[in-house]
Amino acid sequence: MNSFQIVVCGSIVPDPLQTLEPVAGPTGPALKNEMMLPAVLDPWAAHSLYEAANLAKQFPGSKVYLVSLGPKAKLQQVMMTVGQKVPFELVAIDGPASGFTDSEEVAGALAAAIEALPGIDKTKLLLFGGWESASRGAGSTMQIVGELLGITDQFQGVDRITVRPDGSFEVLERIEGGKHQVSECKSAPAVLGWATGYLGEPRNDPQVGMMNMRGIMPSLQKAKPAQIANDGLSFLKVELPKQQRTTRIVKDASADEIAQEIAEWIAKD
């Protein structure tokens, strides 16, 4: 029976419902009141964590690690919730979770933490993460972590992995036009940058939470600091889009009149 070491890379981002505003910080752009904003696990990374747990459940002996780079205090807050979802071992790295950091340097910190995992076996390694973050949104970090770890079977925009008895697996990746590319990989190691997949968000399970917490707090306490210097990267301007539009509210028109107007609008070049 196959077993895997599934390492999920995922950081934290401001809750999607928060209003964000850029400000100039001492080392570059930042978010206004960044440390005060409620945070969540990066949504696509969260999907990858749920997929990892689901896969680990199917293959006894498998283990899920969550490697997360972020400010320790914020990581602790987010882990209180995430820790109740699925079983994992946290590897915390104390550093910025900002979208304005350079993915090459972030990837370096993540790869170093993965290399340092006791007993890591690359022949069993599946490296999971979101295909893009909700902060930088570049889709670059996972590729670079893969390169740093010497993994050249990489998939992005993954919605499904199906592992076969011989250890090979089929992957569905999103491509243009709402289609999926179907690929087959002989075995681990591989990098999978996940899109949403097909699993729902697991319900909170207090027992899972208790079990995870035994590892989460020590991991946070011994989190190594990561220096992200953003060498050579300059932000000349960061601003909110001018999105306010003058909205015409059509209140008292009949369905016929509205339909006519919409049909004409659609037909207009």
Interacting residues with other proteins between 99 and 158 (CB under 8 A): 99-100, 102-104, 107, 134-141, 143-144, 146-148, 152-157
Bridge partners of residue 39, in order along the sequence: 14
In the complex with other proteins, the residue whose CB is nearer, 73 or 175, is 175
Binding status of residue 259 toward other proteins by CB under 8 A: yes
CA distance 2 to 166: 8
* DSSP 8-state code for residue 150: T
CA distance 160 to 53: 13
In the complex with other proteins, the residue whose CB is nearer, 2 or 219, is 2
Shortest distance (Å) from residue 152 CB to other proteins: 4
Binding status of residue 41 toward other proteins by CB under 8 A: no
Neighbours of 212 (CB within 10 A): 24
Shortest distance (Å) from residue 141 CB to other proteins: 8
Shortest distance (Å) from residue 1 CB to other proteins: 21
Shortest distance (Å) from residue 191 CB to other proteins: 8
Contact 169, 175 (CB under 8 A): no
SS3 at position 219: helix
Binding status of residue 51 toward other proteins by CB under 8 A: no
**Span 187-206, contacts to other proteins by CB under 8 A:** 187, 195-201
SS3 at position 170: strand
Bridge partners of residue 93, in order along the sequence: 69, 224
In the complex with other proteins, the residue whose CB is nearer, 165 or 245, is 245
List 3, 20, 77, 217, residue binding other proteins (CB under 8 A): 20
CA distance 108 to 144: 8
**Span 201-230, contacts to other proteins by CB under 8 A:** 201
CA distance 20 to 100: 13
List 3, 22, 205, 220, residue binding other proteins (CB under 8 A): 22
Binding status of residue 245 toward other proteins by CB under 8 A: yes
Total site size for other proteins, rule CB under 8 A:
94
**Alpha-carbon separation of residue 109 from 52, 105, 116 (angstroms):** 21, 7, 11
